[in-house]
Amino acid sequence: MSYLPYLLAAWLFLVGLYGIVTSRNLIHLAVCLTVTQSSTYVLLLAIGYRHRGTAPIFYGVPVGSRAVDPVVQALTLTDVVVSVTVIALILALALDVHRRARTVDPDEIAAFEG
């Protein structure tokens, strides 16, 4: 009985949020967002894990062998790639902010806009 992987996911989520709240740089903020998002991958994969289970790939392995859950893996793998493009969009927004406000500190931007 172990809950450590789940608690790791919860910790990653909170640490990422802390980074977002205290961030003084939009690029750093985007990285913190990816940390927060990674916590969902850890949680999904941890939930689908089965002791002594193999990967859910039955090439050279007989069907019916003990395997981990394939559904959470499918969810995670698509999101890993898609999240990269979403982060690119956020970084492009950060560039745009820098061009308009000449700063990447979220606190200064709030002051800049009144």
Partner 1 sequence: MNRNVRIAVFCVAAAGLAALLVASVLDLPAFGHYQGAYGNQLLRETVAERHTTNVVTAIVFDYRGFDTLGEEFILFASVVGVTLLLRAQKDSEDDEHVLRKAPDDMTRSDAVRIGGLVAIPVLFLLGLWVVAFGLVTPGGGFQGGVLLAGAIFVVFLAASFRAYYTLTPTEWVDFAEGAGAAAFALLGLGALLAGASYLHNFLPSGIRGTLESGGSLSFLNWATALEVTAAMLVLFSEFLERYVAPVQRPLA
Among 27, 31, 35, 72, binds partner 1 (CB under 8 A): 72
How far is the C-alpha of 64 from the C-alpha of 110, rounded, in Å? 57
User: Does residue 82 interact with partner 1 by CB under 8 A?
Assistant: yes
Q: How far is the CB of 42 from partner 1 (least distance, A)?
A: 11
SS3 98: helix
Between 31 and 91, name the residue whose CB sits nearer to partner 1: 91
Q: How far is the CB of 18 from partner 1 (least distance, A)?
A: 7
Among 31, 79, 103, 109, binds partner 1 (CB under 8 A): 79
User: Does residue 111 interact with partner 1 by CB under 8 A?
Assistant: no
- Burial bucket for residue 7 (CB in 10 Å: 0-12, 13-18, 19+): exposed
N- to C-terminal Cα distance for the chain?
53
Q: Which residues of 45-55 are buried (b: 16+ CB within 10 A; e: fewer)?
A: bbebeeeeeee
SS3 65: coil
Residues in contact with partner 1 by the rule CB under 8 A = 1-7, 9-10, 13-14, 17-18, 21-22, 46-51, 53, 55-59, 63-64, 67-75, 77-82, 84-86, 88-89, 91-93, 95-96, 99, 102, 107
